[in-house]
Amino acid sequence: MAEINDLAQKLLELDEDELEAMIGMRSQSQSRSGVSGETDDSLDSLEEDIDTVPKGGLNDFLNAGKDFFAPINAQAYKYLCSDIDKDSELGKALSTVMSDKTTEAAAKVTAFLSPVLVTQFALPQALAVLIGTLIVKKVAKGASDFTCSNWKKSLEGEAAA
């Protein structure tokens, strides 16, 4: 888990567009490799990608990333927040961690979300870490609290856009 924490801290330094472009690149690479399984889904390869995120010409990857992220974000909210409210143990734990309002706290929440995304949505680990990071960035933006009500507002804002 420490490895995911370290990687999540680096990913949290990227802006949302860069994360969505990386998700787009990874998701397209995943679908192209198909059954052959030739794609590198290791966390090490993801860390290498951080340093090579192209700054220009991202529109195709950015759009692919947004298209891939949106339904998973909504499904993850439904899965995680159907049982989470401010009184649940898990809800309290996430809120407590994020109350620190630090990159380390955000990385811990990302590290929590990533295995859930892998097991519940059959995502490759590197893609799950990217998606978990983007969820944390979107949900904690502004209020800096990771709560289901903030997550719901984030989803509503994306639907309006």
Distance in angstroms (rounded) separating the CA atoms of residues 135 and 69? 9
Residues 6+ apart with CB under 8 A from 117: 72, 76, 123, 128, 131, 132
pLDDT, one tens digit per residue, over 104-146 is 878 888 888 888 889 989 999 999 999 999 988 887 765 555 6
Q: What are residue 107's phi and psi, to 5 degrees?
A: -65, -35
Cβ contact 152:77 at 8 Å: yes
The 3-state DSSP class for residue 95 equals: helix
Residue 78: what residue type?
K
**Rounded mean pLDDT, 63-79:** 89
Predicted confidence (pLDDT) at residue 35 exceeds the cutoff of 70: no
Predicted confidence (pLDDT) at residue 9 exceeds the cutoff of 50: yes
Predicted confidence (pLDDT) at residue 2 exceeds the cutoff of 60: no
Domain residue spans of the chain: 2-31+40-160
pLDDT band at 71 (very low <50, low <70, confident <90, very high): very high
Count of helix runs (H) and strand runs (E) in the chain: 8, 0
Burial environment of residue 109 by CB neighbours within 10 A (0 to 12, 13 to 18, 19 or more)? buried
pLDDT greater at residue 155 or residue 64: 64
